[in-house]
Amino acid sequence: MAITTYAELKTAVANWLNRDDLTTVIPDFISLAETDINRKLRHYKMIERVDATLDSRYVQVPADWLETFRFNLTDAATVRLDLIGAEDMLQKRELNRDTTGVPQFYAQIGDSIEVFPSPAGEYPMQLAYYAEIPKLSDTTTFNWLLQSDPDLYLYGSLMQSAPYLLDDARMQTWASLYQNGLASLQKASDDTRFGGSGRRIIISSY
């Protein structure tokens, strides 16, 4: 059967498990699969952008934020801020007495992004980030991933069912199919982003 909606996915999981008594827990299997996909997949379709004004040391990340892709100032010319670690950020503040100016660096601090130097004024900014894939539910009946790769949802949900059902024998099968699907989808995304040749290293000649 085709799997194009949340209801069809739940039915498919039940059919593949050959069980009709899991109605209340199959949504949990799907939710756990979504959590794992969001943890591991970084697809170009997950990239969202937020435009705002940077006028303070900290920027709150969006509720669906998973990982920052790019952080730019977008005034007269686009300037990309460099990512540094939390310890490096602390060191810069200590060595420069928490100076203000045009931000050049950012660090992820909990649910916020910290910039350095602290803004000396107001700067237009754009945050590009990997967002959570919208979770399926009775009201959100489909998303882009279910439409493009229903097998990933199916195998991920089946894999999550195995510990609950104490089915170690089939867990390896589901896990293999799921991991292969995840790797294939990630590669397809990388090929699209990098032109099919992977990440390029440019070596300057002298």
pLDDT digits (tens, 9 = 90+) for 72-92: 999 878 899 999 999 999 999
Cβ neighbors of 116 (< 8 A, separation 6 or more) are: 84, 89, 92, 93, 96, 103, 104, 105, 106, 107
Which residues of the chain are under the pLDDT cut of 50? 200-206
Quick one: angle between helices 26-40 and 168-193, nearest 10?
A: 40
Within 10 Å of residue 57's Cβ, how many Cβ atoms?
Answer: 18
Tell if the pTM clears 0.85, that is, is over it: yes
Separation between Cα atoms, residue 108 and residue 101, nearest integer Å: 19
- Output the pLDDT for position 169: 83
Question: Whose CA is closest to 129, among 35, 43, 65, 79?
Answer: 65
- Output the pLDDT for position 31: 98
β-pairing verdict for 123-131 and 82-83: unpaired
Report yes or no: 126 and 113 within 8 Å, Cβ to Cβ: no
- Output the pLDDT for position 143: 98
| Rg (the chain; Cα; Å) | 22
User: In a 3-state reduction of DSSP, which class is residue 108?
Assistant: strand
- Output the pLDDT for position 178: 97
β-pairing verdict for 82-83 and 112-116: unpaired
Question: Whose CA is closest to 140, among 43, 1, 6?
Answer: 6
- Output the pLDDT for position 24: 97
- Output the pLDDT for position 206: 31
CA 128 to chain CA centroid, Å, is: 11
